[in-house]
Amino acid sequence: MARDYSGVDKQRTSTLRLLCAIVNGQDREVPLEQRPILLELAREHRVEYLLAWRLHTYGSDSGSSPGAADALLQQVRDQSVVDSIRNEEAARVIAGLAGVDGAMPVLFKGAALAHLYYPESWLRPRLDTDVLLSPASVRGAFEVLRALGYRQATSTSGALVSYQASFERSDRFGVTHYFDVHWKVANWQIVADVLSHEEIAARAIPLPALGPSARAACASDALVLACLHRAAHHRDSEELLWIYDIHLIAGRLSGPQWTIALASAERGSVKALCARGLALAIDRFGTPIPVEVMRHLDRWQRAAVREPSSVYLSKNFRLVDGLLSDLRSLHVRAAARLMAEHLFPPAEYMKKRYGVRSRGSMLLAYVRRMVAGLPKWLASGGQM
């Protein structure tokens, strides 16, 4: 999570501005005294590969010493090699998923953005590849992933508590590949249906870098999803990587694409989340926004408190706040089911996660899980 820079010293604040300018492609001199802080901030905001690439392009030194610069450039080289290996594997997996009846896989978030909006895909760090599928195809998709050598990570499950599953596989090079399979765009109830798979798939665009079967969310949908992800999953994070994603996507939108994005945000009641994300992009990177869109954003920011999703913009957001918002959005029976799924995950999960064997130890494990998890749910800054 990025730090709050409102109360830090002027040098650190000015260095953050300098970092934004360099990442955004503006050729800037890096004063000697700012170099250590520049590199520290770049790592903290996960834009160190972009920093190294930009400074290498300018012929500048990126670190506090030649050793620091050399180490960062070596990381960039390693990242580009690993990225190439992961791209080949992603093409293989996507081709397999595309063969599942009705799946219509669509890539979104990190991997899709890396290939569509960044000069080189390895410049956009990511831990996994996110794929959105039709809900009806999930079982078949899981079978395909297992057939391709993937193992499903241990995680809780239920009809309402989660709309994703994680899979991983290590290859002969020692590279571990992670795929997150989603059948809704988020786990929180109040934003899970902002955009459906059907809508996103209907507007998806080719992603030839990952094979003939690969498609990605179009720019309009990608913008809404990037704003939603930054706020709802990362609690209004000001990490530059998330904001730079929004900047790059917004810079590609045409007039008709803005119309689609604005309509999706309004229909999905995430106007405040989108307004906040775009405001940060404008502030950090000078994102060019059409005048008419700016008028919408101004109105949306003033009306933020009217949307349930604005809970994610609170600096004191707690997981319990998100849960309460979800419970209020559901009918009584569904709300009770969601609560039960949080409190009592499947027995198979408990066996794998806590190693329980008997009924008595199972009950004890449930109690211990509730007690241990309570501080996390009540702490500010929690992530779903």
Instruction: Look at residue 63 and tell me whether its pLDDT is greater than 50.
Output: no
Residue 145 CA, chain-centre distance (Å), reads 22
Residue percentage of the chain with pLDDT more than 70: 92
Instruction: Look at residue 67 and tell me whether its pLDDT is greater than 70.
Output: no
pLDDT bin (cut points 50, 70, 90) of residue 156 is confident
Q: Write the pLDDT tens digit of every residue in 168-184.
A: 999 998 999 999 999 99
Instruction: Look at residue 264 and tell me whether its pLDDT is greater than 90.
Output: yes
Checking DSSP bridges between strand 129-132 and strand 176-182, what pairing results, if any? parallel
Task: Give the residue among 236, 222, 212, 215 at the shortest CA–CA distance from 312.
Answer: 236
What residues have CB less than 8 Å from 99, skipping those under 6 apart?
A: 144
Structural contact between residues 261 and 220, judged by C-beta atoms closer than 8 angstroms:
yes
**Angle in degrees, 0-180, between the axes of helices 319-329 and 359-378, rounded to the nearest 10:** 100
Query: φ, ψ for residue 320 (rounded to 5)?
Result: -65, -30
* Averaged confidence pLDDT in the chain: 89
Structural contact between residues 142 and 319, judged by C-beta atoms closer than 8 angstroms:
no
Residue type, 45: H
Instruction: State how far the Cα of 205 lies from the Cα of 218, in Å rounded to an integer.
Output: 6
Largest CA distance in the chain: 66
CB neighbours (10 Å) of residue 140? Answer: 17
State the average pLDDT over residues 139-151: 97
Instruction: Look at residue 70 and tell me whether its pLDDT is greater than 70.
Output: no
Q: Give the lowest-confidence range in 136-140, 251-255, 293-297.
A: 293-297
CB neighbours (10 Å) of residue 144? Answer: 18
pLDDT at 6: 47
What residues have CB less than 8 Å from 204, skipping those under 6 apart?
A: 104, 106, 215, 216, 217, 218
Q: Write the pLDDT tens digit of every residue in 226-244.
A: 999 999 988 899 999 999 9
State the average pLDDT over residues 133-153: 96
What residues have CB less than 8 Å from 229, skipping those under 6 apart?
A: 109, 186, 242
pLDDT at 384: 54
Q: Does domain 81-217 have CATH number 2.40.160?
A: no
Residue bearing the bigger pLDDT, 66 or 92: 92
Structural contact between residues 273 and 310, judged by C-beta atoms closer than 8 angstroms:
yes
State the average pLDDT over residues 20-47: 87
Instruction: Look at residue 7 and tell me whether its pLDDT is greater than 50.
Output: no
Instruction: State how far the Cα of 237 lies from the Cα of 235, in Å rounded to an integer.
Output: 5
State the average pLDDT over residues 73-102: 91
Instruction: Look at residue 8 and tell me whether its pLDDT is greater than 80.
Output: no
pLDDT at 163: 95
pLDDT at 359: 79
Q: Write the pLDDT tens digit of every residue in 274-314.
A: 999 999 999 999 999 999 999 988 888 776 667 899 999 98
The DSSP code for 232 is: I
- 57 burial level (CB within 10 Å; 0-12, 13-18, 19+): exposed
pLDDT at 200: 98
Q: Give the lowest-confidence range in 154-163, 181-190, 245-254.
A: 154-163
| Helix (H/G/I), strand (E/B), else coil: 383 | coil
pLDDT at 211: 94
pLDDT at 60: 53
Instruction: Look at residue 22 and tell me whether its pLDDT is greater than 70.
Output: yes
Instruction: Look at residue 360 and tell me whether its pLDDT is greater than 90.
Output: no
Instruction: State how far the Cα of 299 lies from the Cα of 224, in Å rounded to an integer.
Output: 17
| pTM of the full structure | 0.90
pLDDT at 1: 43
The two tokens of residue 66 are 């030649």
The two tokens of residue 54 are 């930009």
State the average pLDDT over residues 307-334: 92
pLDDT bin (cut points 50, 70, 90) of residue 32 is confident
pLDDT bin (cut points 50, 70, 90) of residue 64 is very low
Give the strand order in the sheet containing 151-152.
151-152, 164-170, 176-182, 129-132, 106-108, 215-216, 205-206
Residue 325 CA, chain-centre distance (Å), reads 21
Instruction: State how far the Cα of 371 lies from the Cα of 360, in Å rounded to an integer.
Output: 17
Checking DSSP bridges between strand 129-132 and strand 106-108, what pairing results, if any? antiparallel
Determine if residue 104 is left, alpha or beta; phi over 0 gives left, psi from -120 to 50 gives alpha, anything else beta.
left
pLDDT bin (cut points 50, 70, 90) of residue 9 is low
